[in-house]
Amino acid sequence: MVEPKTRRPLAESLAVHDQVYGAIRQALITGRIAPGVGVSLRTLAAELGVSPMPVRDAVRRLVAERALAINPANKRLSVPSLTAGRLEQLSQARLWIEPELAARAAPLADEALIRSLQAIDASLDAALAAGDVDGYMTANHAFHFAIYERAGADVLLSMAGGLWLQIGPFMRVVFGRVGTGGLPADRHAEAIAALKAQDAPGARRAIAADLSEGMDKMRAAVEAGA
């Protein structure tokens, strides 16, 4: 459930709460916590090698971000269900926020960012070729947020992060079922070209198209009952 490298004990320190929050957050973003599967605080604590207290604190934060829900009957945690209506709201919010971040990043893009994006995209392509859904999810998130973090827009960045928290587990389910070969072609090369040219409208268009095509695949899966 939680990425294997996070299963070693985390150092008990003042930062442990943030470490635990970050580990669970990353597991949600990359879909390693599956929708519809209940999990207890104690299970998460055991996987992370910490006491239940920092896990409880992290879960409280993630519930407030609508990334997790608590069943009042048995206190088990789960990813909230994804209805067609909720998916539509998430899609619209992503299309408002993420292309704007890409457009703001474009004038600030430099050669170091371009090289980083090219390397990440190469690892994404390798994951696709190998049928590695976990590798694809990790690289896809890294690609988008390398761009978004360059925008210098902390409020929008935080909102984008919250949206990925909510959508990540469902991306993983859909992509796991259709396989990496069933994914739409991404627009990453277009985004890199626009950023290299510091073309804000081009970066906006590339990211908007990338999001739209991916969310359309999710929408079809939700409508089909997947």
pLDDT at 173: 76
Q: How far is residue 54's CA from residue 77's CA, in Å, rounded to a whole number?
A: 15
Judge contact between 52 and 75, C-beta under 8 A: no
- The label of the residue with tokens 């973090």 reads 149
Question: What tens-digit pLDDT sequence spans the chain (226 residues)?
Answer: 665 444 445 445 557 888 899 899 888 888 888 787 788 888 888 888 888 888 989 999 999 988 898 888 777 888 888 788 888 999 999 999 999 999 999 999 999 999 999 999 999 999 888 888 888 889 999 999 999 999 999 999 999 999 999 888 888 777 766 655 556 668 999 999 999 999 999 999 999 999 998 888 788 777 776 5
pLDDT at 178: 62
**Integer-rounded Cα radius of gyration of the chain:** 18
Q: Is 69 helix (H, G, I), strand (E, B) or coil?
A: strand
pLDDT at 91: 93
Neighbours of 69 (CB within 10 A): 15
Q: Residue 14 corresponds to which amino acid?
A: L
pLDDT at 185: 67
pLDDT at 5: 44
pLDDT at 6: 46
Q: How far is residue 225's CA from residue 222's CA, in Å, rounded to a whole number?
A: 5
pLDDT at 8: 47
pTM of the predicted structure, to 2 decimals: 0.84
pLDDT at 148: 98
pLDDT at 200: 98
